[in-house]
Chains A and B, each alone.
Chain A
Amino acid sequence: DQQVKQNSPSLSVQEGRISILNCDYTNSMFDYFLWYKKYPAEGPTFLISISSIKDKNEDGRFTVFLNKSAKHLSLHIVPSQPGDSAVYFCAAHRRDAGNMLTFGGGTRLMVKP
């Protein structure tokens, strides 16, 4: 039972363009969502988060949008840079589960110069 899904295993984008990574969830108990970035041979690195009481959070080139009614969130990267090439994981936190995170399967982003 995958409660957090990233349906696109990979995404290729031209440098300077927008990258949009999507994530869907099924559990309405999730109250906080995060995006992590992972390079090969490194652990996941926190990128940006959003509380379920908000619909948008912005940090520099990264913006996360949350649509609670659709149980969908997305990460926008503008403009995309070659250094953004990595695997991106969407993660969700449940209000009754301490700080345990439930992760999606990841999307590999490739930004071409």
Chain B
Amino acid sequence: DAGVTQSPTHLIKTRGQQVTLRCSPKSGHDTVSWYQQALGQGPQFIFQYYEEEERQRGNFPDRFSGHQFPNYSSELNVNALLLGDSALYLCASTRTLSSTDTQYFGPGTRLTVL
């Protein structure tokens, strides 16, 4: 039973560029959330996708956008990269939108912006 997978593992970009990160949810899960974890901090919620629509959004600018595909996989796009966007980006999936459903996390994508 495959868990949550993310690609790529690491990524290096320069300021102003755009980046796309990918996530495949755990088998049987249809809801995907994205979190940003800066160095030395806890994960911060970016947004959540269910039925190919953004359902909830955290306090992140419009430069952060996403997409969910019919197979429930998801992408996180960040435009006009800033140095402060350097972080570990985590994807989490759940079976449903149920508020107390356990979220399973992927290993993350480490983004470095130079």
B-contacting residues of A (Cβ < 8 Å)? 4, 6, 9, 32, 36, 41-46, 49, 51, 89, 91, 93, 95, 97-106
A44 in contact with B43 (CB, 8 Å): yes
Q: Is B97 an interface residue (CB 8 A)?
A: yes
**A55–B45 alpha-carbon span in the complex (Å):** 27
Closest approach, in angstroms, between the C-beta of B9 and any C-beta of chain A? 9
**A27–B26 alpha-carbon span in the complex (Å):** 31
**A98–B51 alpha-carbon span in the complex (Å):** 15
A-contacting residues of B (Cβ < 8 Å)? 4, 31, 33, 35, 40-45, 48, 55-56, 58, 90, 92, 94, 97-108
**A91–B98 alpha-carbon span in the complex (Å):** 16
Closest approach, in angstroms, between the C-beta of B45 and any C-beta of chain A? 5
A43 in contact with B40 (CB, 8 Å): no
Q: Chain B at the A interface: mostly helix, strand, loop or mixed?
A: loop
B40 in contact with A100 (CB, 8 Å): no
A99 contacts which chain B residues (CB < 8 A)? 31, 33, 48, 94, 97-101, 103
